Amino acid sequence: MANTRATFSSKLLQNFMLIVANEIGEKNLPIVLNKSRLPVEWADSKHLENLGNQAAAETYAGLQQAIRAYYGRGARGILQRIGGKFWDDLLSNASFKEKAQAKLLRGLPETRRRKAVLDLLIRLLNASSDEMSVHTLDLNLLLVDNTSPTTYNQQDDEAICHLTHGLIREAIYWATSSDALIEEISCQVTGAKHCEFKITFGE
């Protein structure tokens, strides 16, 4: 059953659209949209500013689906890169309080920074603890996304949250200056109740 519960911020969507246009090219974006029979007007982020939260989630998911359809196997890397840039954008547009929290976070011991930065990511995405949460698995972490706007009204045989993967990867690297192994172990598009990301750290 397709996920129709997700919501997303129209402000975040506007910023996201600008990142996408920069990554795949402003001239290519309307072509990608048109091939998936999505409104070409989406290429102009101004058309997105008055969308409700559910319509914004539908647009967020639809654009990612269009990228997957247009670029095929290459879409995974593109969406992960977009996710990394989205993290940078979230951080640069954070509130004064959130920026102060981010600065303090980097002063924590590395093992504490790992979970703390993902908690910060959840806040920057305007997600509640009911929507997204981070759990400790010994020395590793599990991020659970209960609503997952990427999967809004989508169905597939394989996990599709490559953008969220990129967000997590870049956030972890920003906080720790080291990489982690990130695996989406369940995804709502395949019928799972949640999207879950297992994050494994080296010794």
Rounded CA-CA distance 75/69 in Å is 8
Whether 22 is in a domain gets the answer: yes
Whether 4 is in a domain gets the answer: no
Q: Identify the helix (H) or strand (E) that includes residue 40.
A: none
Contacts made by residues 42-48, CB under 8 angstroms, sequence distance 24+? 42/17, 43/17, 45/13, 45/14, 45/15, 45/17, 45/18, 46/14, 48/10, 48/13, 48/14, 48/17
What are residue 135's phi and psi, to 5 degrees? Answer: -125, 145
Whether 3 is in a domain gets the answer: no
Whether 35 is in a domain gets the answer: yes
Rounded CA-CA distance 34/41 in Å is 10
**Widest distance between CA atoms in the chain:** 48
Whether 5 is in a domain gets the answer: no
Rounded CA-CA distance 30/119 in Å is 35
Please give the structure tokens belonging to residue 1.
């059953």
pLDDT of residue 103: 95
What's 90-143 look like in SS3? Answer: HHHCCCHHHHHHHHHHCCCCHHHHHHHHHHHHHHHCCCCCCCEEEEEECCEEEE
pLDDT of residue 139: 86
* CATH (domain of 189): 3.90.1520.10
Whether 25 is in a domain gets the answer: yes
Total domains, the chain: 1
Q: Which domain holds residue 89?
A: 10-200
- Each of the 203 residues of the chain gets a pLDDT tens digit; together they read 566 778 899 999 999 999 999 999 999 999 999 988 888 988 888 888 888 999 999 999 999 999 999 999 999 999 999 999 999 999 999 999 999 999 999 999 999 999 999 999 999 999 988 999 999 988 899 999 999 999 999 999 999 999 999 999 999 999 999 999 999 999 999 999 999 999 999 75
Its pTM stands at 0.94
Whether 2 is in a domain gets the answer: no
Whether 130 is in a domain gets the answer: yes
